[in-house]
Amino acid sequence: MGVVVQVSPAWLPPARNLERFSLLLWPCLSSAEMDSTNQSNLKRNKSEKKLLRKQIKARNTLMRHEGIECVSHTTQSLVVANGGLGNGVNRHQLLRLVEECGLVEALLMPPNKPYSFVKYGSTEEAKKAYDTLNGKEITLEDSDQNVTLYVNFVEKVHWEDIIPLSLPPGLMMVEELVSPEEEQKMLESIDWTENEVIQNAQKSLKHRRVKHFGYEFRYDNNNVDKDKPLPGGLPEICNTLLETCLKQGYIKHKPDQLTINQYEPGQGIPPHIDTHSAFEDEIISLSLGAEIVMDFKHPDGRTVAVMLPQRSLLVMTGESRYLWTHGITPRKFDIVHASGRQKVGSVTPDVGDLTLNRRGTRTSFTFRKVRRSPCNCTYPSVCDSQQGHQREEAPSFHHGETKASKLEQEYVHKVYEEIATHFSNTRHSPWPQIVEFLRTLPKGSIVADIGCGNGKYLGINKDLYMIGCDRSQNLVDICGEKKFQAFVCDALSVPVRNSSCDACISIAVIHHFSTAERRLAAVRELTRLLRPGGKALIYVWAMEQEYNKQKSKYLKEKRASKGKEEEINTDVAWGLFCDQMHDNGSQHSACSDQVLHDSKDKGSNAKQVINSKLPVHTNRTSFHSQDVLVPWHLKGGTNKKGECVKALQLPAGSKELQEFSPVFHRYYHVFCEGELEAACKTLDCIRIQKSYYDQGNWCVVLEKQ
């Protein structure tokens, strides 16, 4: 009679020792039992080998992307890969699983991460969880999706202390402003199927259903036609609500425009600021039907997630209305507090008290007062009224096609001709996500690089037929020296047949055009070149040089001046310096100031800086204006033809040194979040496949329909 031997998976020998291990059991087993055991061990060995591979992969991924180091010895703490809020596992479900293995002292679930940490009261309980949960497949609650958990031991889990987040200045939340009965009546009053007489009064947008009253909000220009009110005014059912808001002091003026939005789970609205010139200071929004989390973001990168409970009123005034963007991320679940201790206000990222909350259908009533005079707020950098006023005062900037073209000629085209060789010498490392885009294109694809510079992307994929073009003759000559095919042309008028390219790339080019019309024309020219189904990748410099609490490479490379020129190594890991991100630190801004003061002697570019009335950006700092001049400190000893001149020992700040190492200024329009995507959406012939942020740049992938 055979002996039953139980083998714990924790010490099952590796495959190479499996035969030796079977021989050890041989005296105890009959022939039939031996055959059965061998087959069972073989199956178990295959599954355990697969599990081990998955564990190792999870371990390496955590180390590479998150800096979390797993250990091979038993501890009280475990990291559960695939068991996080980021891939749909809520706290209640995971807590129920881990508590089956012992006393749980802590369960930490970082927001938007696909892993969690669990700490047990003893190493024995942690070992039990390790054996039980490793490779366990679970079905997500409220979903038919399955995920497989992979568990590893970790040492003590260190997490930063949570700092309570305050609401943006001027933002206020009022809970339970209406009763459930009033809520139901307001929802029933909306007729989504009504055939409106006024064109565009009711639309089915990609992200939500929307209906306007009082005045129609036009999404083509983000404004209202103040001379064309809609018949009927605001619905009578809103009168009581508005009277309450006036009486309680939430608003000072009765609104005359209402937008009703309906959001199904998974729908949202991109981050935006309500147009300054369109509406007055006070904007209020009532949430009906369901609660939701709205994201607010400051231009410096700070973000605050705000819970909007059902039947609550959101009041935006001052800074929160004029400066912070607000939007709703399109998703089916929100990350909220698990304990329910905070029903309204900011959602603090407390990893010990976060879970997922399934969204319901939310309907918002947003009330505004149409503005009848220009906005004179204290936030001119994001105010369309004051930007327009500044344009009137600066005739050399944004004042007609001719003026725009002249500005670009002085501050883009002429500059690149002068700095071409130095510029090319700083352009070695291709940016990884652009390389990935090119390498995923089918073999034999025809690809145009519009604004190719020194051609660093023209030779990335030898299986593609790539051509380049650039406005700079000297940069095109450098491409020719590298045996690349490139020619001189303007990005607004590329001499290539319609629909002749499988793909196009435009890297750090469109931000050099000085009007919104010319920037849109550049995108339109890219789409003209594409065949139906063809793709274009666009990169532009971002105003947000700090995003998701991470500084861009541009800011990280800020260096203190030490009285001598500092070289920047553009071949560092990732190599993610934008074409505009090479300037050599704070001393160059000082040089810029000196050149400006010395404009009578220097003339040319420095004089034009003053006439343009554009701010000169301080290198390696955050942007405070979207339209700026960025200094380029030409490396001493290199002229535009690349001829080397022997370096001289000249006194710092001397006129001779300035002549030897001149400063040039290039015009940039840095893009705010959502601006590039919004411009692309105005073109009917394209579909946005992907939009993302990449080391200080906003990026989109377009497909021609």
User: Higher-confidence residue: 53 or 275?
Assistant: 275
> Cβ of 339: how many Cβ atoms within 10 Å?
12
- What number is the average pLDDT over the span 430-457? 95
Contact 148, 137 (CB under 8 A): yes
- Name residue 627's beta-bridge partners: 669
Burial of 229-268, coded b for 16+ CB within 10 Å and e otherwise, reads: bbeeebeeebeebbeebeeeebbeeebbbbbbbbbebebb
Residue 554's pLDDT band (boundaries 50, 70, 90)? confident
- Residues 342-361 have pLDDT tens digits of 455 666 666 676 788 889 99
Residue 354 confidence (pLDDT): 78
Collapse the DSSP code of 172 into the 3-class scheme (helix H, G, I; strand E, B; otherwise coil) and give the result. strand
Residue 109 confidence (pLDDT): 85
- What number is the average pLDDT over the span 285-312? 89
Within 289-339, strands assigned E span 292-297, 303-308, 313-316, 325-328, 333-337
- Residues 36-61 have pLDDT tens digits of 545 555 555 777 788 788 888 888 87
Residue 65 confidence (pLDDT): 64
- What number is the average pLDDT over the span 99-111? 88
Residue 6 confidence (pLDDT): 35
Contact 522, 404 (CB under 8 A): no
Residue 389 confidence (pLDDT): 46
Rg of the chain over Cα atoms, rounded to whole angstroms, equals 31
- What number is the average pLDDT over the span 635-652? 45
Residue 587 confidence (pLDDT): 28
Kindly write down the DSSP assignment for every residue of 184-241, as one continuous string.
HHHHHT--TT---SSTTSEEE-SS-EEEEESSPEETTTTEE-TT-PPTT-S-GGGHHH
Residue 637 pLDDT > 60, yes or no? no
Collapse the DSSP code of 415 into the 3-class scheme (helix H, G, I; strand E, B; otherwise coil) and give the result. helix
Residue 336 pLDDT > 50, yes or no? yes
Indicate the Cα dihedral angle 258, 259, 265, 266, nearest 10°: -150
Contact 344, 173 (CB under 8 A): yes
Residue 89 pLDDT > 70, yes or no? yes
Name the packing angle between helices 414-425 and 473-481 (round to 10°): 30
Residue 507 pLDDT > 80, yes or no? yes
Q: Which helix (H) or strand (E) holds 473?
A: helix 473-481
Q: Which helix (H) or strand (E) holds 437?
A: helix 432-439
- Residues 513-529 have pLDDT tens digits of 998 889 999 999 999 99
% of the chain surpassing 90 pLDDT: 45
Q: How far is CA 163 from the centre of its chain?
A: 23
- Residues 120-149 have pLDDT tens digits of 999 999 999 999 999 999 998 867 788 899
Contact 396, 411 (CB under 8 A): no
Residue 601 pLDDT > 70, yes or no? no
- CA distance between the termini of the chain: 73
Give the CA distances from residue 151 to residues 96, 396, 487, 585, 660, in Å, rounded to whole numbers and listed in that order: 16, 63, 56, 46, 62
Q: Round to whole Å and give the CA distance between 631 and 662.
A: 10
Q: Round to whole Å and give the CA distance between 519 and 505.
A: 15
Residue 662 confidence (pLDDT): 81
Using CA of residue 685, residue 691, residue 697, residue 703, what is the dihedral sign?
negative
Residue 318 confidence (pLDDT): 92
- Tell me the CB-side half-sphere exposure of residue 9, using CA atoms within 13 A: 18
- Residues 693-702 have pLDDT tens digits of 998 999 999 9
Q: Which of 204-208, 268-272, 400-404 has the lowest mean pLDDT?
A: 204-208
